[in-house]
Structure formats: structure tokens, C-alpha cells
């Protein structure tokens, strides 16, 4: 089969190389995205897993737009809290410690493997056995641990990764957590993936793997049952569509909230002329703070409690008019996850974001697959832990996003990891590309900010005078970060220029990489 030309941006060089191998085998953008998803389970195992959840936003060369929702689902039934294996661990981001809850009681119904199967059946060109081959080779031969992996293993996720004997076998084979330059080998995962792609696709949800997972849950304090696994389905949704500055932006619709919040922010900004705004100026920082502030207010008032209502995205985004004048007056006053973006020359585009949360610490015996901890993620449980409704899709901030030009062809492909910072990271990169006309490299790697709960987190690189002259209320706090940090997301981005060039940038905050075939 003839080689396909395309470009990939992802969180690890070996992830990108896995995708390039599939381009070389004649695969399309969707084959490549799946190959990268599977490879990322080896190259970024602290961030994603076959037992996690995610979304893939697809634009086909026949102008179909599909959002594949394979995010995690709440179980059908709750166990008494007193019977749960559910406990907190602190994850240290350097200047802030965030608590996450892990254990078998934190595990939601996983969706990544179901998503891989559905996308391949719907849009893939190559057999799944071919698509999975680079990931299987990586898992068996091993991946050299780089500085970012070593940081996540040692500084962030060590208490989670080393919870079980299976985890210690993978991440501390000689007694100490793997360090930069060591080799991460996932033999059991390679064997499991071979079984799954050899025709035993339902093994994960109905076979021996499912039986082991459910038995451990029932005996050791988890919620999951065979009913939960057998009834899990991938949902194909119509993407949320936003018009901004003459471009069409497609992103993740409800019940996930990230895309809807990005849409609301862009609606507010569309009323302003940003032509003469200078990046990094005090006016720019004030604008970002204000749009994030107003979006957060609107979210609490009009979105969080209504995410499962019909047409809630349209109702919420249209409500921007209630906030528009106060927003203009205020302006004039002057997150673990991984993302993969793929574009091919045939006109296909895939934007895929997956997550395992921080991981539950539990690895399905003999598989090398750690299950998610989505029921233990504070951001995903705004009503409090154990208050989730049964058997519903969990809302997520993940927002795989595409921008179409006036001919409805893909011009920008992006998305991000970063928990609650996903929406603000994507918003800033979109503004950098569309309003500030930056190159893709500068758009992704320019400094970022995040505003939430009266705290303004600011990366280095902005003019200190611009920061010092910000108009803040007495309860507002500025936190200046000493260096660019994964806290502010990882926006791996691709751009197709007007003359047909395919360009990409990986986010340096998460050692992102972009390469062309």
C-alpha cells in the first residue's frame, strides 16, 4: 500500500514514530491516531491507559465531523462507602500539591479500548493488528525513560505506580523507581495487546480480563461489575460548533464541559477587536483573567448542574449575552492527560485526548494495564465524592478541537492534557493562532496563565511590568511559576497553511514532539 503523507504532534518521540510507521504502511489519519494512542500507553503510562477514557474528534475527507466519546462511565450500582478501597494521595506539582483519590473504589467503567475498536471499524483503513504492532514492539523492547517521564514517575505518581506488586515489577524492577536513562519494559502489556488484536477484541469487556477485574472489585472494595463492562458503549456525538473570526471551531459537546466553556469564552471575546492587542501586555493579561473569571462565574450559575439537559450547550453559550456588557466594562477597565493531533494530505484530521486520571494504583493481574481513578478525581466530581449518579457518562474537561477554514477543510488540530487547565490552555493557543497570528511553534510554547478561585497562575516570560500593573481585587492572589510547567497543559498542535504545508508543534511543557512523514 502506498505511503500516506501527514504530520503528527504528540507527547513523546516514540509515540510519534509509531504513528509515522503507520503512515508508512499506507494508513490514514485515524489509523495513525490509534497507533499513537496505543503507543502512548507505553511511552506515557502515567497519563493514559487502555482502562482510561477519552475522546477522538474526527474530520473526514468527505466532510464528516464525528466526536467519538469513549470516556469513562459511572457504575450501575454503588457499594457502601465503608466497603470501598478509596483513599487520598498527594501529587506534587512543585509549587502546589493536589490531592487525588485512588484505590479500587475510584475506578469508573473504562472506555479507551472500546474507543480504539469503534474508530478502527468506522474510519480505519488498516487491520488493527497492523495498527497495534508499533505499540507491541515498544512494550516488549522497552522505552528509554526521558526526563519528563522520570519527573512524572518520581515526583508526581510514585505512590500510585508502586501501590501493587505488578506496579513495582514495571516501574521499580530493581527496587527503585525508574530514572532517566533506564528502560521501561511492559512485557505483560505487549502480550495482552497481542491477544486483544488477534480477534479476541471483546476479551477486555467480557472475557478473562473482565472476570479478573470484576472479581478483584467485588473482593477488595471496587464498584465495577460484569454488567458495567458488558454494557459499555462508545457514543458518536455531533461536535459542538462555534464560529469565531470567520472560522468554524469544532470541539467536544456535553456532557463534557471543557468544549462548552471554550465556546462561551470565544463568544465573549468575539465582541472585542483584538487587532491592536499586544501579546504579553498588561491589557492582554487582564483580558485573559477577565474572560476566565466570567466563564467560571457562568459555569457555576448555568452549566455544572445542567450538563445532561437536552441542548444545554446551545442554551449556555447563547447566555453569553447576559454577561457581555459587564465583561466589556471589566475589560475596558483594564491538569493527567495526553493529547495526539494528526493531519494527512488526504484531508482527514484526528484530534484525540485520553486520560487515566492519575491511575487507581490497581493493575489488572497479568495485563500491565492500570485502571483509571475517575471516581477519585475532584475535578470530575464537583458535587463531592460518592455523589455521582449511576450509569452516566462522566463529564470531562477534555476538549479535542479542530478549526475549519471557510471551505470547511481542517486548518488547525489541537487539544491538551492538564485537568482543569485544559480549556484555558486551548483557548490561549487558539487566540495566539487566530488573533495574534503566531507561528504554530510560538502559539504552543508562549507563556500561559490560568485564573481560578481568585488565584492567577502565571508562567515566566511575561513582562514583569505587565504583571505588576494588573488590576486585581483585594482577595486575588498572583502565583508566579519559576518555569513553564505541565500544570498549564500540553497543547500538541498542527496547522495546515493556505499553501498546503503541514506544520506542527509539540508542547515543551510535556516534552511534546511533532514530525512529518
- The 10s digit of each residue's pLDDT in 145-155 is 998 889 889 88
- pLDDT for res 96: 67
Inter-residue contact 115 to 56 (CB < 8 Å)? yes
- Grid coordinates representing 103 are 484505590
Whether residue 105 has pLDDT greater than 90: yes
H helix or E strand, kind and range, residue 111: none
Whether residue 235 has pLDDT greater than 90: yes
Question: What CA–CA distance (Å, rounded) separates 336 from 49?
Answer: 11
Question: What CA–CA distance (Å, rounded) separates 79 from 225?
Answer: 11
What is the pTM (predicted TM-score) of this model?
A: 0.93
Residue with cell 458495567: 228
Phi then psi for 4, rounded to 5 degrees? -100, 140
Strand partners, 413: 402, 494
- pLDDT for res 331: 58
Of the listed ranges 224-238, 266-280, 298-312, 343-357, the least confidently predicted one is: 298-312
Model confidence at 393, pLDDT cuts 50, 70, 90, reads very high
What does R_g of the chain's alpha carbons equal in angstroms?
22
State yes or no: cis peptide before 255, omega within 30 of 0: yes
Mean pLDDT for the chain overall: 91
- pLDDT for res 155: 80
Q: Give strand ranges (E) for 296-421.
A: 337-344, 349-355, 363-364, 369-370, 401-404, 410-414
Inter-residue contact 73 to 108 (CB < 8 Å)? yes
Inter-residue contact 75 to 108 (CB < 8 Å)? yes
Q: Cα separations (Å) of 176 from 41, 189, 322, 371, 508?
A: 21, 21, 56, 23, 27
SS3 assignment for 431-463: HHHHCCCCCHHHHHHCCCEEEECCEEEECECEC
- Grid coordinates representing 465 are 511590568
Whether residue 332 has pLDDT greater than 70: no
For 357: left if phi > 0, alpha if psi spans -120 to 50, otherwise beta; the answer is left
Inter-residue contact 160 to 359 (CB < 8 Å)? yes
Inter-residue contact 385 to 376 (CB < 8 Å)? yes
Cα end-to-end span (Å), the chain: 15
Question: What CA–CA distance (Å, rounded) separates 231 from 314?
Answer: 29
Model confidence at 95, pLDDT cuts 50, 70, 90, reads low
SS3 assignment for 120-148: HHHHCCCCHHHHHHHHHHHHHHCEECCHH
Whether residue 337 lies in the annotated active site: yes
Catalytic residue (choose from 337, 354, 367, 424): 337
- The 10s digit of each residue's pLDDT in 42-73 is 999 988 999 999 999 999 999 999 999 999 99
Model confidence at 205, pLDDT cuts 50, 70, 90, reads very high
Select from 342, 340, 343 the least CA-distant residue to 353. Answer: 340
- The 10s digit of each residue's pLDDT in 299-327 is 888 877 777 777 877 888 777 777 777 77
Say what percent of the chain tops pLDDT 90: 72
Whether residue 201 has pLDDT greater than 90: no
Mean pLDDT over 113-141 rounds to 97
Amino acid at each position: 500500500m502506498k505511503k500516506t503523507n501527514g504530520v503528527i504532534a504528540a507527547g513523546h518521540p516514540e509515540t510519534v514514530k509509531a504513528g509515522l510507521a503507520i503512515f508508512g504502511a499506507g494508513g490514514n489519519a485515524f489509523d495513525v491516531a490509534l497507533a499513537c494512542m496505543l503507543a502512548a500507553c507505553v511511552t506515557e503510562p502515567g497519563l493514559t491507559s487502555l482502562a482510561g477514557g477519552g475522546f477522538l474528534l474526527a474530520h473526514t475527507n468527505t466532510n464528516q465531523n464525528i466526536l467519538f466519546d469513549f470516556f469513562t462511565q459511572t457504575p450501575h450500582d454503588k457499594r457502601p462507602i465503608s466497603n470501598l478501597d478509596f483513599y487520598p494521595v498527594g501529587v506534587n506539582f512543585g509549587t502546589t500539591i493536589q490531592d487525588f483519590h485512588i484505590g479500587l473504589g475510584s475506578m469508573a467503567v473504562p472506555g479507551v479500548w472500546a474507543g480504539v475498536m469503534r474508530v478502527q471499524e468506522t474510519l480505519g483503513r488498516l487491520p488493527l493488528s497492523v495498527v497495534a504492532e508499533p505499540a507491541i514492539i515498544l512494550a516488549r523492547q522497552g522505552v528509554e525513560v526521558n526526563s519528563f517521564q522520570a519527573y512524572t514517575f518520581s515526583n508526581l505518581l510514585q505512590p500510585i505506580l508502586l501501590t501493587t506488586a505488578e506496579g513495582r515489577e514495571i516501574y521499580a524492577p530493581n527496587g527503585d523507581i525508574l530514572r532517566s536513562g533506564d528502560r521501561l519494559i511492559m512485557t505483560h502489556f505487549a502480550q495482552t495487546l497481542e491477544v486483544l488484536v488477534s480477534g479476541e477484541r471483546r476479551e477486555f469487556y467480557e472475557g478473562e480480563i473482565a472476570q479478573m477485574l470484576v472479581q478483584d472489585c467485588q473482593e477488595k472494595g471496587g464498584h465495577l461489575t460484569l454488567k458495567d463492562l458488558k454494557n459499555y458503549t462508545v457514543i458518536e456525538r455531533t461536535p459542538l460548533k462555534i464560529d469565531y473570526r470567520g472560522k468554524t471551531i469544532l470541539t467536544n459537546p456535553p456532557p463534557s464541559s471543557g468544549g462548552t466553556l471554550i465556546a462561551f469564552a470565544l463568544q465573549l471575546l468575539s465582541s472585542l477587536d483584538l487587532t491592536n492587542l499586544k501579546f504579553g501586555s498588561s491589557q492582554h493579561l487582564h483580558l485573559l483573567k477577565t474572560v476566565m473569571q466570567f466563564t467560571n462565574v457562568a459555569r457555576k450559575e448555568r452549566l455544572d448542574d445542567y450538563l445532561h439537559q437536552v441542548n444545554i450547550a446551545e442554551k449556555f453559550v447563547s447566555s453569553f449575552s447576559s454577561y457581555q456588557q459587564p465583561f466589556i466594562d471589566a475589560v475596558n477597565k483594564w491538569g493527567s492527560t495526553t493529547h495526539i493531533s494528526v493531519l494527512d494530505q488526504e484531508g482527514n484530521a484526528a484530534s484525540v485526548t485520553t486520560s487515566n486520571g492519575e491511575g487507581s494504583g490497581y493493575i489488572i493481574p497479568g495485563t500491565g494495564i492500570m485502571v483509571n481513578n475517575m471516581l477519585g478525581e475532584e475535578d470530575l466530581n464537583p458535587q463531592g465524592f460518592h455523589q455521582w449518579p449511576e450509569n452516566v457518562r462522566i463529564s470531562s474537561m477534555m476538549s479535542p478541537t479542530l478549526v475549519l477554514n471557510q471551505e470547511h477543510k481542517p486548518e488547525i488540530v489541537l487539544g491538551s492534557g492538564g485537568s482543569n487547565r485544559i480549556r484555558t490552555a486551548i483557548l490561549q493557543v487558539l487566540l495566539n493562532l487566530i488573533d495574534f497570528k503566531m507561528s504554530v511553534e510560538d502559539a504552543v510554547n508562549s507563556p500561559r496563565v490560568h485564573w481560578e478561585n481568585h488565584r492567577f497562575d502565571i508562567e515566566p516570560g511575561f513582562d514583569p511590568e505587565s504583571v505588576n500593573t494588573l488590576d486585581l481585587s483585594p482577595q486575588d492572589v498572583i502565583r508566579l511559576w519559576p518555569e513553564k510547567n505541565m500544570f498549564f497543559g500540553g497543547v500538541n498542535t498542527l496547522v495546515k497553511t493556505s499553501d498546503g504545508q503541514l506544520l506542527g508543534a509539540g508542547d515543551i511543557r510535556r516534552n511534546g514532539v511533532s514530525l512529518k512523514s
